[in-house]
Structure 1
Amino acid sequence: MKKSHLTETRFSNLELSDSIIKGLKDAGFINCTPIQEKSLPLSLRGKDIAGQAQTGTGKTATFLLAAFQHLINDDSEKIKNPRALIVAPTRELAIQIHKDAVQLSSYLNLRFALIYGGTDYKKQLDKIKSNVDIIIGTPGRIIDFYKQNAFTLNNIQVMVLDEADRMFDLGFIKDIRYLLRRMPPPEKRLNMLFSATMSYKVTELAYEHMNNPVVVKIETEEVTSKSIKQIAYCPANEQKIPLLLGLLKQHQPQRSIVFVNTKRSAEQLNNYLQANGYKTALLSGDVPQDMRQRLLNDFQESKLTLMIATDVAARGLHIPDVSHVFNYDLPQDVEDYVHRIGRTARFGASGEAISFICEEYAYSMPDIEAYIGEKIPVQSISEELLAKDIKQPTSRPPRKPSQDKRTGKPRRKPSRPPASAPESPQ
């Protein structure tokens, strides 16, 4: 982290236990970010917080540290079943919060359950039944297990809602209210809510289910970080791939994400980049969860340095050292632009966001510029910048039929039953 993006306040000067401070030092956290400096002194004294801050400003550590300290302070009577619930809108964000929680609590005797949909149902159910202290997860799977009486919300002492605005976007707000109404009343727990935007809906939720929260806003006048250099090009559709290849060659990004709007566009681009020598990861909504996590881990560990992603990856992921974000397709939602480019310049680092104003999505740019309150400089496309001798993706050869191990002959596909055949019983 650059020193200029940290405050003079040290974690060691806050009311945090020695065990927490030790975990922070191991993680390299010495000085607070602005959201931590403003929020932690309040939450550590039991005040509810409704925080608005840009992505990558340290809000995850803010609510984790406050939750840990609150549970430590009230550990005199050992309570069965979870004492804290942290709810996130996406499984990627839940996974990242859990990862940070494990790291920062390395000297604490706290047990976590990570709960999200799409995979590991039995494993997660067994974990949540094992008397954990903190549940971290997405609303649907949490409610599923709650209705099975796998755990109770009667003993919740800390409640956290992360990216509350995204909860509304994804239609989770009824689920959130369902959970909140089954906890002890707001005045009997510590409540923290964080959101990129403090809309009327988010504010209403805060005051309805929290105990007179203190609103903490950080850099609300800046929609996008000043650490991100934003530029744009206006390619014809047939220039997009040559331009991207040329820019990748010119910039040699340390780690980059290329955002597209559709799965089809992602697959086409992935094929071109691989044909031209780039090792890529493709992240879209229908990638199985296990595969998605494997790709993200490879990307975070620099086994892969170029990711092609739809907006499933635009929010809730902490991937350090992303030097460049490319908007190969301009997003159709202005907020998605901010969340996409926020994948770079995290925790005070600098980064570049390069957008293509192509024929298909050019109409989005005026709305984006109006939303962020600034014009994005457009650079001309020189012939030198466009890649030459681009290799075309090779079409996949037809799959060979699998062989029967016993006979060595190709297996025959089972013949389909006639249309009139009765369905087998379920």
Structure 2
Amino acid sequence: MSFETLNLNPRIQRAIKDEGYTEPTPIQAQAIPCVLEGRDLLAAAQTGTGKTAAFTLPMLEKLGGTEGGGRRHVRALVLTPTRELAAQVHQSVRTYGKYLKLKSAEIYGGVSIGPQTRALRNGVDILVATPGRLLDHLNQGHVDLGRVEVLVLDEADRMLDMGFIHDIKKIIATLPASRQNLLFSATFSAEIKRLSGSILNDPALIKVAADNTTAERIRQTVHPVDKAKKADLLAHLIGTNDWQQVLVFTRTKHGADKLSKRLAREGLASTSIHGNKTQAARMKALKAFKDGRVRVLVATDVAARGIDIDKLGQVVNFDLPEVAEDYVHRIGRTGRAGNAGEAFSLVCVDERHLLHRIEKMTNSRIEKVMVDGFHPDPSIKPEPVKKRGGGQRRGSFGGRKPQGSAAGSGQRNGEFRRRAR
């Protein structure tokens, strides 16, 4: 199938050709016709499959036929979990809609609210936003969502993990009942099915991979190692294999900064991004990484959402994630756009139970490879893994009591809820 067979607006076709694309990816080939038919959609697509264009292109097609004329109002709303992903989606809207007379805006926290307010008051057709900052604008009367025609929830599973379900419900309550709804998720968890049942109307169901599986083009390896030797092993792997562009995940913000500084002392150009850094600092660090001026980017899960580098060769889990589904999101940063990728996990004795969860979720056994000079000491006993946010585990859909929480209020990890606004 070619993009021409999808009968998109010639101006959209022209923008696609400008980017050098001729054939849609599987998720695009299946999703675009469904969206153009006006159906609601529930799609399971891992990162790197082209899912952003799978909703951006048909959304532009639907809106592009009735451009301009009178004061603009929000006709399409895209909700994303993080600022980086919002910026990525908005860039896709601008790229493929550059020959259309549609106006768009991106709304997220961490930056001045003034320019966003002016953009909204001037009128936009397409709004890409994180839930927290959008609620701020709604509460202050800066935006009217009463005429939205298309609602997109991108990476809905991540938004649930980050505790945005209540914000999402408040936003949806301001939308017209008659609208098209598109929900994209990397996994089809019970929470996602519950959410989709409350929002979607007789949706088309699309899967481009089995539930909770990781991309086949990504080679996955576990290196068992003592916790105290992880940084040395990481520096050894980067130097020995001559990796030039490596994305490394840590569990905490402090850990990201500490590791970045340690690698820099080893002569490896490194920087970090996490929720405590300003948006400008995060974008600067990401640009330095993309441009090749920084060899290693150390990130927390929330800060890494939206990182889109087609030929990123290696992803390293310096710490395994507490939530198994995060592993799928993390390693999906590599192996994008049809390229091969490698994912390495440095696993100490404390994290063996986390590795077991990941293998159970993905229904696979990850190859374990010992590295000479870094064999773990069998006499070391496991200790509890320190959880983020002072010991609270993130809550899930439905407001169940988070593990480790005495309050049982259903509140999520504060870093996620506040920083991603």
Q: TM-score, normalised by structure 1?
A: 0.84
User: Is 1:179–2:171 an aligned residue pair?
Assistant: yes
Q: CA deviation at 1:19?
A: 0.2
Question: What does residue 328 of structure 2 align with?
Answer: 338
* In structure 1, C-alpha distance between the alignment counterparts of 2:225 and 2:111, rounded to whole Å: 41
* In structure 2, C-alpha distance between the alignment counterparts of 1:290 and 1:76, rounded to whole Å: 33
* In structure 2, C-alpha distance between the alignment counterparts of 1:340 and 1:245, rounded to whole Å: 20
The answer on whether the counterparts of 1:280 and 1:304 sit within 8 Å (CA) in structure 2 is yes
Q: 1:52 aligns with which of 41, 44, 50?
A: 44
Amino acid at match of 2:340: S
The answer on whether the counterparts of 2:84 and 2:304 sit within 8 Å (CA) in structure 1 is no
Q: 2:196 aligns with which of 183, 186, 206?
A: 206
* In structure 1, C-alpha distance between the alignment counterparts of 2:367 and 2:47, rounded to whole Å: 23
Q: CA deviation at 1:204?
A: 3.4
User: Is 1:33–2:25 an aligned residue pair?
Assistant: yes
Question: What does residue 114 of structure 1 align with?
Answer: 106
Question: What does residue 230 of structure 2 align with?
Answer: 240
The answer on whether the counterparts of 1:229 and 1:352 sit within 8 Å (CA) in structure 2 is yes
The answer on whether the counterparts of 1:53 and 1:220 sit within 8 Å (CA) in structure 2 is no
* In structure 1, C-alpha distance between the alignment counterparts of 2:339 and 2:266, rounded to whole Å: 30
Residue ranges of structure 2 left out of the alignment (5+ in a row):
377-421
Q: 1:96 aligns with which of 88, 91, 108?
A: 88
Q: CA deviation at 1:96?
A: 0.8
Question: What does residue 19 of structure 1 align with?
Answer: 11
Q: CA deviation at 1:208?
A: 2.8
Amino acid at match of 1:381: V
Q: 2:160 aligns with which of 165, 168, 188?
A: 168
Q: CA deviation at 1:37?
A: 0.7
Question: What does residue 148 of structure 1 align with?
Answer: 140
Q: CA deviation at 1:113?
A: 1.2
* In structure 1, C-alpha distance between the alignment counterparts of 2:118 and 2:83, rounded to whole Å: 19
Question: What does residue 302 of structure 1 align with?
Answer: 292
Question: What does residue 264 of structure 1 align with?
Answer: 254
Q: CA deviation at 1:210?
A: 3.0
Identity %, equivalent residues: 37
* In structure 2, C-alpha distance between the alignment counterparts of 1:167 and 1:237, rounded to whole Å: 31
Q: CA deviation at 1:23?
A: 0.5
* In structure 2, C-alpha distance between the alignment counterparts of 1:221 and 1:149, rounded to whole Å: 40
Higher Cα Rg, which structure: 1
Q: CA deviation at 1:25?
A: 0.8
* In structure 1, C-alpha distance between the alignment counterparts of 2:249 and 2:357, rounded to whole Å: 18
Q: Which has the larger displacement, 101-110 or 294-303?
A: 294-303
Q: CA deviation at 1:383?
A: 3.6
Question: What does residue 276 of structure 2 align with?
Answer: 286
* In structure 2, C-alpha distance between the alignment counterparts of 1:76 and 1:115, rounded to whole Å: 22
Amino acid at match of 2:207: K
Q: CA deviation at 1:76?
A: 8.0
For residues 326-364 of structure 1, give each alpha carbon's deviation from its aligned partner in whole angstroms, at most 9, with x where no partner exists: 111222221121111111101211111111111332332
The answer on whether the counterparts of 2:9 and 2:61 sit within 8 Å (CA) in structure 1 is yes
Q: TM-score, normalised by structure 2?
A: 0.85
The answer on whether the counterparts of 2:48 and 2:332 sit within 8 Å (CA) in structure 1 is yes
Distance 1:118 1:176, change over 3 A: same
Q: 1:328 aligns with which of 301, 315, 318?
A: 318
Q: CA deviation at 1:288?
A: 1.5
Aligned residues between the structures: 376
Q: 2:348 aligns with which of 335, 352, 358?
A: 358
Q: CA deviation at 1:293?
A: 1.2
Question: What does residue 86 of structure 1 align with?
Answer: 78
> SS of 1:363's equivalent?
helix
Residue correspondence of structure 1 range 54-69 to structure 2 within 5 A: 54-69=46-61
* In structure 2, C-alpha distance between the alignment counterparts of 1:344 and 1:351, rounded to whole Å: 5
User: Is 1:158–2:150 an aligned residue pair?
Assistant: yes
For residues 154-203 of structure 1, give each alpha carbon's deviation from its aligned partner in whole angstroms, at most 9, with x where no partner exists: 221111111111222122112212222222223xx222111112233323
* In structure 2, C-alpha distance between the alignment counterparts of 1:247 and 1:129, rounded to whole Å: 52
Distance 1:256 1:212, change over 3 A: same
Once superposed, which parts of structure 1, at least 4 consecutive aligned residues long, lie more than 6 Å away? Answer: none
Q: Which has the larger displacement, 24-33 or 330-339?
A: 330-339
Question: What does residue 379 of structure 1 align with?
Answer: 369
Q: CA RMSD in A?
A: 2.0
Amino acid at match of 1:182: T
* In structure 2, C-alpha distance between the alignment counterparts of 1:96 and 1:304, rounded to whole Å: 21
The answer on whether the counterparts of 1:247 and 1:385 sit within 8 Å (CA) in structure 2 is no
Q: 1:274 aligns with which of 264, 270, 273?
A: 264
User: Is 1:225–2:205 an aligned residue pair?
Assistant: no
Distance 1:138 1:323, change over 3 A: same
The answer on whether the counterparts of 2:75 and 2:149 sit within 8 Å (CA) in structure 1 is yes
* In structure 2, C-alpha distance between the alignment counterparts of 1:259 and 1:160, rounded to whole Å: 28
